[in-house]
Amino acid sequence: MTGRPLRVAMIGYGFMGSAHSVGWRQAPRMFDLPEAVEMAVVVGRNAQAVADAADRWGWAESATDWREVIARDDIDIVDIVTPGDSHAEIAIAALDAGKHVLCEKPLANTVDEAERMADAAARAAARGIRSMVGFTYRRVPAVTFLRDLIAQGAVGKIAQVRAAYRQDWLVDPETPLGWRLQKEHAGSGALGDIGAHIVDMTQFVTGLEVTAVSGVVDTIVKERPLLGSGSGLTGTAAEGYGEVTVDDVAIFTGRLSTGALVAFEATRFATGRKNDLSIEVSGDKGALRFDLEDLNTLWFYDRSAPAQTQGFTRILVTEASHPYVSAWWPAGHMLGYEHGFSHQVVDLVTAIAEGTDPEPGFAEGLSVQRVLAGVERSSADGSAWVRIDAGAL
Ligand code: SOE
């Protein structure tokens, strides 16, 4: 402990930068954090744009050189919200410099990078330095509660899982070629960007590991207008076309450590589906279902209920006794997309204060990366099953 507030440097300032800023701003106001935090500096390459971001989101300073910022003695936490191609370099440098690190998902663009990051995190943990991957949806209260109910045996022995993340922002062939569509920046497409969430969520809620995968990835629109201004998700097109080098759709099957099967679907071509992450876990005692487009709700099917009245019951996850909820509004009042980013801050700062490793750590980020690589291998080889054992990918 330094005896002063934990000072945060955020590297990157795109869409995720704004979401993380909301988390850093709101968490200390709404929760009783064990340590005070200060939004010290936001870093980006364009001096004017990053200064504007600092003003808008409430960072005390802005800077253009992340290496200089990481070297500063007055920075305790480095929050990485850049595209995946710089995660490994920044995270390893920050951990080696003794900073706690929060890194956006997916952890890296390749298994090799993720392994090096997990090694750096393990070395740093031995010195009391903490690291965490931003799989923020774990911190939607209904998802955390779903995990708790499964751990308490609500669904019994898990027979199968269905996990889908469906968006439609690429259905328009004129959507420009942002960084999320370029392998050298993003690593992969729908697979890494949103498939990573459902792989992590499946492992999180079931407490089981994906041990093998079989699947296909496909690119539906192979060329798109070059990006003019703005970011990948909201940008405008420039003259000329470029090649899309990542997948648009990934459909795959996973096998869990108990042998249970998972049907995974990650796509940016599900027309009409805006941000539809859904998971359903089916067991011999019951089933639980969550859908991000209705994120305050959990559906529970209890097989022990009388047959006449059996059915999926709606649980509104807005009670003070539900995870994270009591810090916000009186019971019954809704939370949204941004609240998970505050909950992530709460859990990271609590772990730092208590001297424990936050979850998910880089080792868990690496396990997701291996699953993603396994799906790509299965698709490229046409192999029925690719095992996700350490060292196999
Ligand atoms: C874009 O597909 C995206 O912003 C993801 O990158 C995020 O992880 C997810 O929260 C929403 O969709």
Residue 326 has pLDDT above 80, yes or no: yes
Nearest atom, ligand 1, residue 16 CA: 4
Nearest residue to 234 via CA among 195, 179, 273, 194: 179
Nearest residue to 213 via CA among 264, 161, 159, 253: 253
Percentage above 70 pLDDT, the chain: 98
Residue 232 has pLDDT above 80, yes or no: no
Which of 135, 193, 200, 275 maximizes ligand 1 atoms within 8 Å of its Cβ, making it the mutation to test the pocket?
A: 193
pLDDT digits (tens, 9 = 90+) for 108-149: 999 999 999 999 999 999 999 999 999 999 999 999 999 999
227 three-state secondary structure: strand
DSSP 352-369: HHHT---SS-HHHHHHHH
pLDDT reported for residue 282: 98
- Give nearest CA residue, ligand 1 atom 1: 193
Q: Are 323 and 296 in contact (CB under 8 A)?
A: no
Q: For 246-270, what is the HEC assignment?
A: CCCEEEEEEEECCCCEEEEEEECCC
* Residue 389: band (very low, low, confident or very high) from pLDDT cuts 50, 70, 90: confident
Nearest atom, ligand 1, residue 19 CA: 10
C-alpha 69 to ligand 1 mean position (Å):
27
C-alpha 153 to ligand 1 mean position (Å):
31
C-alpha 193 to ligand 1 mean position (Å):
6
Does the C-beta of 318 come closer than 6 Å to ligand 1? no
pLDDT reported for residue 76: 98
Nearest atom, ligand 1, residue 169 CA: 2
pLDDT reported for residue 357: 97
C-alpha 201 to ligand 1 mean position (Å):
14
C-alpha 105 to ligand 1 mean position (Å):
9
Does the C-beta of 167 come closer than 6 Å to ligand 1? yes
Does the C-beta of 193 come closer than 6 Å to ligand 1? yes
pLDDT digits (tens, 9 = 90+) for 52-75: 999 999 999 999 999 999 999 999
Q: Please compute the mean of the pLDDT values over residues 351-367 and round it to a whole number.
A: 98
Q: Please compute the mean of the pLDDT values over residues 239-252 and round it to a whole number.
A: 97
C-alpha 233 to ligand 1 mean position (Å):
9
Instruction: Report the range of poorest mean pLDDT among 86-95, 221-230, 292-301.
Output: 221-230
* Residue 392: band (very low, low, confident or very high) from pLDDT cuts 50, 70, 90: low
The residues, ordered by sequence, that sit 6+ positions from 313 with a Cβ below 8 Å of its Cβ are: 299, 300, 301, 302
Nearest atom, ligand 1, residue 167 CA: 2
State the pTM of this model: 0.97
The residues, ordered by sequence, that sit 6+ positions from 136 with a Cβ below 8 Å of its Cβ are: 19, 105, 340, 341, 343, 344
pLDDT reported for residue 258: 96
Does the C-beta of 347 come closer than 6 Å to ligand 1? no
Q: Please compute the mean of the pLDDT values over residues 345-374 and round it to a whole number.
A: 98
C-alpha 264 to ligand 1 mean position (Å):
17
Does the C-beta of 194 come closer than 6 Å to ligand 1? yes
Q: Please compute the mean of the pLDDT values over residues 174-179 and round it to a whole number.
A: 94
Residue 1 has pLDDT above 60, yes or no: no
